[in-house]
Structure 1
Amino acid sequence: MRKVIAIFGTRPEAIKMAPVITELRKSRDLDLRVCVTAQHRGILDQVLSLFAITPDHDLDLMLPNQTLDQLTARLLSGVGQVLDEEKPDLVLVHGDTTTTLSSSLAAFYRKLPVGHVEAGLRSGSLHAPFPEEMNRRVTTLATRFHFTPTERSRQNLLAEAVDASHIHLTGNTVIDALIETVARLKAAPETRAALERQFGYLDSSLPLVLVTGHRRENFGPGFESICRAMIDIVTQNDVQIVYPVHPNPNVLEPVERLLGSHPRIHLIDPLDYEPFVFLMERSYIIITDSGGVQEEAPSLGKPVLVMRDTTERPEAVDAGTVILVGTSRERIVSEANRLLNDRAHYARMAQAMNPYGDGQAAKRIRAVIEEQA
Structure 2
Amino acid sequence: MDKIKVMSIFGTRPEAIKMAPVVKAMHQDERFDPVTVVTGQHREMLDQVLQIFHIVPDYDLNIMQKEQTLSSITSKVLLGMDQILNANRPDLILVHGDTTTTFSAGLSAFYHQIPVGHVEAGLRTWNKYSPFPEEMNRQMTDVLTDLYFAPTTTSEANLLKERHPQKQIFVTGNTAIDALKDTVQDDYQNPVLDQIGSDKRIILVTMHRRENQGAPMRRVFKAIRQVVDQTPDVEVIFPVHLNPKVQQMAEEELGNDARIKLIAPLDVLDFHNIAARSYLIMTDSGGVQEEAPSLGKPVLVLRDTTERPEGVDAGTLKLVGTDPDEVKKQMISLLNDSKEYAKMANAKNPYGDGTASSQILNAIAQWHK
- Superposition TM-score tier, normalisation by shorter sequence: over 0.9
Q: 2:329 aligns with which of 331, 334, 337?
A: 334
Q: 2:72 aligns with which of 70, 86, 89?
A: 70
Partner letter of residue 127 of structure 1?
Y
Aligned match of 1:47: 49
The offset of 1:290, in angstroms, is: 0.6
TM-score under structure 2 length normalisation: 0.97
| Distance in 1 of aligned mates of 2:104 and 2:32 | 24
Aligned match of 2:204: 210
Quick check: 1:305 aligned with 2:307?
A: no
The offset of 1:222, in angstroms, is: 1.3
- 1:139-179 CA-to-partner distances (Å, cap 9, x unmatched) read 00110000000000001000000000110111000001012
Q: 1:18 aligns with which of 12, 17, 20?
A: 20
Q: 2:259 aligns with which of 258, 264, 269?
A: 264
Against the structure 1 CA distance between its residues 78 and 5, is the aligned structure 2 distance closer, same or farther, given a 3 Å change threshold? same
Quick check: 1:235 aligned with 2:229?
A: yes
Partner letter of residue 287 of structure 1?
M
- 1:105-140 CA-to-partner distances (Å, cap 9, x unmatched) read 000011100000000000110111100000011000
Quick check: 1:176 aligned with 2:178?
A: yes
Partner letter of residue 285 of structure 1?
L
User: Which aligned pairs between 1:147-226 and structure 2 lie closer than 5 A?
Assistant: 147-182=149-184, 185-186=185-186, 189=187, 192=188, 195-197=189-191, 199-226=193-220
User: Which aligned pairs between 1:25-44 and structure 2 lie closer than 5 A?
Assistant: 25-44=27-46
The offset of 1:329, in angstroms, is: 1.2
User: Is the CA contact (8 Å cut-off) linking 2:7 and 2:94 kept in structure 1?
Assistant: yes
Against the structure 1 CA distance between its residues 198 and 331, is the aligned structure 2 distance closer, same or farther, given a 3 Å change threshold? closer
Mark the runs of 5 or more structure 1 residues left unpaired by the alignment.
none
| Distance in 1 of aligned mates of 2:222 and 2:82 | 44
| Distance in 1 of aligned mates of 2:249 and 2:352 | 36
| Distance in 2 of aligned mates of 1:278 and 1:89 | 37
Quick check: 1:346 aligned with 2:353?
A: no
**SS of residue matched to 2:36:** strand
Aligned match of 1:144: 146
- 1:198-251 CA-to-partner distances (Å, cap 9, x unmatched) read 531122221100000111111111111121112112112121000000001121
Quick check: 1:362 aligned with 2:362?
A: no
The offset of 1:197, in angstroms, is: 3.9
Query: Aligned-residue CA RMSD in angstroms?
Result: 1.0
| Distance in 2 of aligned mates of 1:250 and 1:145 | 38
Aligned match of 2:239: 244
Name the % identity: 51
| Distance in 1 of aligned mates of 2:41 and 2:251 | 24
User: Is the CA contact (8 Å cut-off) linking 2:183 and 2:273 kept in structure 1?
Assistant: no
Q: 1:118 aligns with which of 117, 120, 131?
A: 120
- 1:34-61 CA-to-partner distances (Å, cap 9, x unmatched) read 0011111111111101110000011111
Q: Which runs of 4+ in 1 moved over 3 A?
A: none
| Distance in 1 of aligned mates of 2:320 and 2:100 | 26
Aligned match of 1:133: 135
Give the paired residue count: 365
Relative to structure 2, which stretch is displaced further, 284-293 or 80-89? 80-89
